[in-house]
Amino acid sequence: HGDGKVGIWSISEGGVGLKSEFLVLQEGHGMSVLSMVQVGRSVWLGTAAGMIWVTSLGSHGLVRRTVSLQGAAKTHVGGVRCLLEVGQEVWSASDSGDLHVWRVSDCEHVRGMQCPGGKVRVMTRLPDGGVLTGHG
């Protein structure tokens, strides 16, 4: 059971402390935030329910709005475990092994595919422009 909250933390000489906490997703089952990536002035959030939310940040880190990327072809079957910015796109991957690519400028779905290795736990960008995925 997730609470749909994200926190902004600060690090100083005195240690680490929670600066702000925001409710950005609807409370309820499956709204646990499993992954996130900052893209410009937005933060993309992947949830246990297989949805991706895009949250705009204000000038002081305050959440201005949150929109959900949904639809049959646009929602992951399993929890969205990883998000990765790749140029002008965001790649998302889930527990069910599906991988989706989104255009950053308008949050539109570009393409989707099934990863042969099953559950995707991590992704990282390689120096040659490729994407490395870890499964398990």
For residues 12 and 127, what is the distance between their CA atoms, to the nearest angstrom?
32
Asked if the model's pLDDT at residue 102 lies above 60, the reply is yes
Q: What is the pTM of this model?
A: 0.80
pLDDT digits over 28-49, tens only? 555 788 999 999 988 888 888 8
Strands 63-69 vs 98-103: parallel, antiparallel or unpaired: unpaired
pLDDT > 50? residue 1: no
What's the rounded Cα separation, in Å, for the pair 61 and 82? Answer: 22
Distance CA 108, CA 6 (A): 24
- Position 109 scores a pLDDT of 86
pLDDT at residue 42, as a whole number: 87
Token readout for 131 is 């994407």
